[in-house]
Amino acid sequence: MSTLLIAIGAFFLYLIAYHTYGKFLGRKIFKLSSEAEVPSIQLKDDIDFVPTKKSIIFGHHFTSIAGTGPIVGPALAVVWGWLPALLWVIFGSILIGAVHDFGSLVVSMRNRGQTVGDIAGRILAPRTRILFLSILFMALTIVLAIFGLVIASVFRMYPAAISPCLIQIPIAVSIGILIHRKGANILIPSIIALAIMYLSVFYGNDGALGKFNSTLASWSVITWVIVLLGYCYIASVLPVWTLLQPRDFINSMQLLSAIGLVLVGLIVAGIWGGAPIETSARPPLEIVAPATRIGADSPDGAPWIFPFLFITIACGAISGFHCLVSSGTSSKQLKCETDAQFVGYGSMLTEGLLAVLVILACVSGLGLGTESSDGSFLTGKAAYLSRYETWGEAKGLGAKVGAFVDGSANFLKALGIAPQFAVALMGVFVASFAATTLDTACRLQRYVIQEIASTLYTKRSATGSKTKINLSLNPLSWLTNKHGATILAVILAFGVAASPTTGLEWSWENAGKGGLNLWPLFGATNQLLGGLAFLVILFWMRRRNLPIWFIALHTMFMLILPALAMSIELFKSSGWLSQQKPLLATIGLTTLVLEAWMLIEAFIAWPKVKGVLEQSLPPINSQNENQNEGGRSC
């Protein structure tokens, strides 16, 4: 019953937070207005800047920010017990994560859809622009290199997830064309698409479809990485309405319906028990994990809970990657400024609810029954310890994903859903999240590369004014083009991914796993981005004499914790420096230096910016003004 009370309590707490704190931020702090001009209409180009309904943007935004983060992070963090993970997810998402996403979205909308990195140069100091963009570039390279491996691994673990993810693509393109050119409603086609996806999951292990999935599941990781990065290139250069928006909307319907099924299954299991086992009795749903496992009770090999809990659970509470989605894609598509609360604040709360369900699946759902590595059937605390007795047992990707899939599938089984279908559906759930994050990250990396390239080929004339170098003579000019920038993003990600993991010789089977070499950097780098985004929001608010005390606290928290975690990993006795891991050590030290440099620039600028607005953006040219005249529509 405690599991059920936690789930229901978290749901209503998030609902209350949205209608109280979320509305306070929107109305009193950010002063959102339905009459304000928005970038999607000011700069409409039907490629990146496309005015779109908030329900569709919610689908894109939610599926893009979530990825596997709210699954993998909480599924690992419960190794320290369920209570610390639950508290950080609930209060972190409401008070910090949702504020970060909402603020990044609003600041970007007020700056014509520029990314947070680009805005930093005007809000803080000119040099911080290239510093911020450099950190974004490194972080997104890690994401692209790793998520191809994640998706390939999920496909190999759950072959039935392959066909639903592939079927989404042609369906999404058809829906995108139908909506954009014919003005059709997206709901009915998306429901049909959802039904087709569920049918493909149901038959994913049988007949010709099962053989098709099994064949693709046997592909090597590097083959999948090549295919996925090729898809990313296409998805990143196409107009957002062609594939990105409809695919993410279909995905959001599938993911939200799956979350709903998990929640209903949890309620049924909480009241009547889980699915009957051999004795035909329904086992009671109860929390089988300890509330805390810290100090002397810490699992063998686990790092300190502070600060590593706050780095391990990223997307479920706060994630720096979200500022890139908010300012990179979503801010360019909202057609009404007041939609920002629903998309920015609401999406993060939905992700927080997902993270709560992940925690409950791992500490309660597993207890309803799971197979151990030796094939025996375990229930209760023994089922939890089979995945979490030591840090090493919980650490691998397969262990974390498997704990969530098995635990949440047990909730579905309580509804009478067949075990095979329940497991396959949760496998699709994980793969779909990862896939939407991958193609969004590739588009974001394209923006970052274009912004860096535009900075590098800008020089000053003899009079001190900025002029552009002749593009035909500039070797970097092709990176300002969306195709050139995307090709570089894909090539770099492939180069990192194609290398084998540390200690292994290169082979076709080992290739594709190179992203794991950089995985230890992901958590701290990702959270550091959140702190730097808060820094930009903080300065934007100070320049406008807005209340900043709560943003200031968030900023300090999210700058100190990631730096502390990365410093521990670098300098501890068994750290990256002592173990002679040059790649990790170099990137880690570079990231800390860039952060310190940005903080010095911020410290110098802080006394000078209060009440002083930053330099305005240049006026929109008359062609855009005429093209978009009268286009505002809320």
- Report how far residue 75's alpha carbon sits from residue 336's, in angstroms, rounded to the nearest whole number: 37
Rounded average pLDDT over 47-56: 90
Residue 379 to residues 249, 263, 282, 369, 415, Cα–Cα distance (Å): 37, 21, 12, 4, 19
Question: Where does the pLDDT of residue 627 fall: very low under 50, low under 70, confident under 90, or very high at 90 and above?
Answer: very low
Tokens linked to 176: 């995108």
Q: How many helices (H) and strands (E) does the chain have?
A: 27, 4
Give pLDDT tens digits for 390-448: 888 777 777 788 899 999 999 999 999 998 889 989 988 888 878 888 888 898 899 88
3-class DSSP assignment, residue 370: strand
Tokens linked to 416: 């009478």
Question: Where does the pLDDT of residue 625 fall: very low under 50, low under 70, confident under 90, or very high at 90 and above?
Answer: very low
Give the residue from 161, 171, 235, 175 showing the smallest Cα distance to 205.
Answer: 161
Tell me which residue has tokens 């501890």: 572
| Phi/psi at 459 (5° precision) | -130, 165
* CB contact at 8 A, 315 and 349: no
pLDDT of residue 474: 62
pLDDT of residue 572: 86
Choose the weakest-confidence range: 239-243, 264-268, 553-557.
239-243
Give the residue from 81, 616, 531 showing the smallest Cα distance to 314.
Answer: 531
Choose the weakest-confidence range: 62-66, 272-276, 498-502.
498-502
Q: In sequence order, what are the residues at sequence separation of 6 or more whose Cβ sits closer than 8 angstroms to the Cβ of residue 558?
A: 96, 100, 318, 527, 528, 530, 531, 534
Give pLDDT tens digits for 339-369: 999 999 999 999 999 999 999 999 999 989 8
Question: Where does the pLDDT of residue 154 fall: very low under 50, low under 70, confident under 90, or very high at 90 and above?
Answer: confident
3-class DSSP assignment, residue 591: helix
Give the residue from 541, 90, 98 showing the smallest Cα distance to 319.
Answer: 98
Q: Where are the beta strands (DSSP E) in 250-351?
A: none
pLDDT of residue 405: 92
Give pLDDT tens digits for 112-127: 999 898 899 889 888 8
- Report how far residue 320's alpha carbon sits from residue 207's, in angstroms, rounded to the nearest whole number: 43
DSSP 371: E
Type of residue numbered 148: G
Residue 198 to residues 209, 257, 261, 265, Cα–Cα distance (Å): 13, 11, 13, 17
- Report how far residue 417's alpha carbon sits from residue 412's, in angstroms, rounded to the nearest whole number: 6
- Report how far residue 613's alpha carbon sits from residue 536's, in angstroms, rounded to the nearest whole number: 13
Question: What does the angle CA 520 – CA 521 – CA 522 come to, to the nearest 5 degrees?
Answer: 95
Q: Is the pLDDT of residue 27 over 70?
A: yes
Q: Where are the beta strands (DSSP E) in 527-630?
A: none
Give the residue from 317, 456, 288 showing the smallest Cα distance to 387.
Answer: 288
Rounded average pLDDT over 212-223: 89
- Report how far residue 38's alpha carbon sits from residue 80's, in angstroms, rounded to the nearest whole number: 45
pLDDT of residue 503: 67
- Report how far residue 577's alpha carbon sits from residue 579's, in angstroms, rounded to the nearest whole number: 5
pLDDT of residue 289: 93
The most confident of 13-27, 132-146, 387-401, by mean pLDDT: 13-27
pLDDT of residue 279: 62
Phi-psi region of 504 (alpha: psi -120 to 50; beta: other; left: phi over 0): beta
Q: Is the pLDDT of residue 89 over 70?
A: yes
Q: Is the pLDDT of residue 297 over 70?
A: yes
Mean of all residue pLDDT scores within the chain: 86
Percentage of the residues of the chain whose pLDDT score is greater than 70: 93
The most confident of 147-151, 162-166, 504-508, by mean pLDDT: 162-166
DSSP 577: T
Rounded average pLDDT over 264-281: 86
pLDDT of residue 468: 46
Half-sphere exposure of 231 (CA within 13 A, CB side): 23
The most confident of 39-43, 177-181, 474-478, by mean pLDDT: 39-43
Give pLDDT tens digits for 579-616: 778 878 888 898 899 889 989 999 999 999 999 998 88
Q: Is the pLDDT of residue 283 over 90?
A: no
Choose the weakest-confidence range: 252-261, 565-574, 614-623.
614-623
Length of the chain: 634
pLDDT of residue 266: 94
Tokens linked to 628: 């978009």
Give the residue from 304, 325, 306, 322 showing the smallest Cα distance to 527.
Answer: 322
Rounded average pLDDT over 226-239: 91
Q: In sequence order, what are the residues at sequence separation of 6 or more whose Cβ sits closer than 8 angstroms to the Cβ of residue 187?
A: none
Tokens linked to 342: 């629903």
Q: Is the pLDDT of residue 458 over 80?
A: no
Q: Is the pLDDT of residue 472 over 80?
A: no
Rounded average pLDDT over 300-310: 90
* CB contact at 8 A, 592 and 567: yes
Rounded average pLDDT over 35-39: 92
Q: Is the pLDDT of residue 631 over 80?
A: no
Q: Which residues of 156-177 are buried (b: 16+ CB within 10 A; e: fewer)?
A: bbbbbbbbbbebbbebbeebbe
- Identify the helix (H) or strand (E) that includes residue 356: helix 346-363
Give the residue from 630, 595, 551, 560 showing the smallest Cα distance to 99.
Answer: 551
Rounded average pLDDT over 451-479: 60
* CB contact at 8 A, 541 and 108: no
* CB contact at 8 A, 310 and 531: no
Task: Give me the long-range contacts of 501-504 (CB less than 8 A, separation at least 24).
Answer: 502/581
DSSP-assigned states of every residue in 101-149:
HHHHHHHHHTTTT--HHHHHHHHT-HHHHHHHHHHHHHHHHHHHHHHHH
Q: Is the pLDDT of residue 628 over 60?
A: no
- Report how far residue 222's alpha carbon sits from residue 220's, in angstroms, rounded to the nearest whole number: 6
Question: Where does the pLDDT of residue 534 fall: very low under 50, low under 70, confident under 90, or very high at 90 and above?
Answer: very high
* CB contact at 8 A, 369 and 383: yes
pLDDT of residue 473: 55
Residue 472 to residues 18, 83, 452, 463, 631, Cα–Cα distance (Å): 51, 60, 18, 23, 36
Q: Is the pLDDT of residue 462 over 60?
A: no
Rounded average pLDDT over 88-117: 95
| pLDDT, greater one: 212 or 625 | 212
pLDDT of residue 33: 93
pTM: 0.90
Tokens linked to 88: 């950080």
Question: Where does the pLDDT of residue 372 fall: very low under 50, low under 70, confident under 90, or very high at 90 and above?
Answer: confident
- Report how far residue 392's alpha carbon sits from residue 382's, in angstroms, rounded to the nearest whole number: 17
pLDDT of residue 630: 44
* CB contact at 8 A, 506 and 499: yes
Q: Is the pLDDT of residue 132 over 60?
A: yes
Percentage of the residues of the chain whose pLDDT score is greater than 90: 42
* CB contact at 8 A, 314 and 76: no
pLDDT of residue 623: 42
- Report how far residue 140's alpha carbon sits from residue 129's, in angstroms, rounded to the nearest whole number: 16
Question: Where does the pLDDT of residue 296 fall: very low under 50, low under 70, confident under 90, or very high at 90 and above?
Answer: confident
Question: Where does the pLDDT of residue 143 fall: very low under 50, low under 70, confident under 90, or very high at 90 and above?
Answer: confident
Tokens linked to 144: 């692209």
Question: Where does the pLDDT of residue 32 fall: very low under 50, low under 70, confident under 90, or very high at 90 and above?
Answer: very high
Tokens linked to 386: 């089979």
